[in-house]
Amino acid sequence: MKIMLNGKEEFIEAGMTLDVFINLKGYNPEHIIIVYNSEIVSRESLAGFKMKDNDKIDLVKFVGGG
């Protein structure tokens, strides 16, 4: 299925859960904020979170800024 990750198309296995996906991408969920279809997903609920076709995922984090 197709999803949008940080504004770019990605093709992944249907029915994948978020925790697996984040792991696959090599991110530590402790250090980033996961925004799924414009909603923040808490770290605790990542495991049971099934992704669907055409969903949007944004991975963001705090950086230096003025």
Partner 1 sequence: MKDVFKIGGREINSRLLLGTGKFSSNKLIPEVVETAGSQVVTIALRRVDPAYEEENIAAYVPGNCILMPNTSGARNAGEAVRIARLARAAGCGDWVKIEVITDNRYLLPDNYETVKATEILASEGFVVLPYMSPDLMVAKKLVEAGAAAVMPLGSPIGSNRGLRTKELIRILIDEIPLPIIVDAGLGRPSEAAEAMEMGAAAVLVNTAIATASDPVAMARAFRLAVEAGRLAYLAGPGETQEFARASSPLTGFLRD
Residues that bind partner 1 (CB under 8 A): 6-7, 25-27, 31-33, 35, 38, 40, 58-66
- Nearest residue to 45 via CA among 56, 53, 36: 36
Q: Tokens 């055409």 belong to which residue?
A: 54
Cβ proximity to partner 1, 41 vs 51, nearer residue: 41
CA distance 36 to 45: 12
Closest separation between CB of residue 15 and partner 1, Å? 23
Q: Which is nearer to partner 1, 15 or 16 (CB)?
A: 16
Nearer to partner 1, 47 or 60 (CB): 60
Rounded CA separation 17/57 (Å): 12
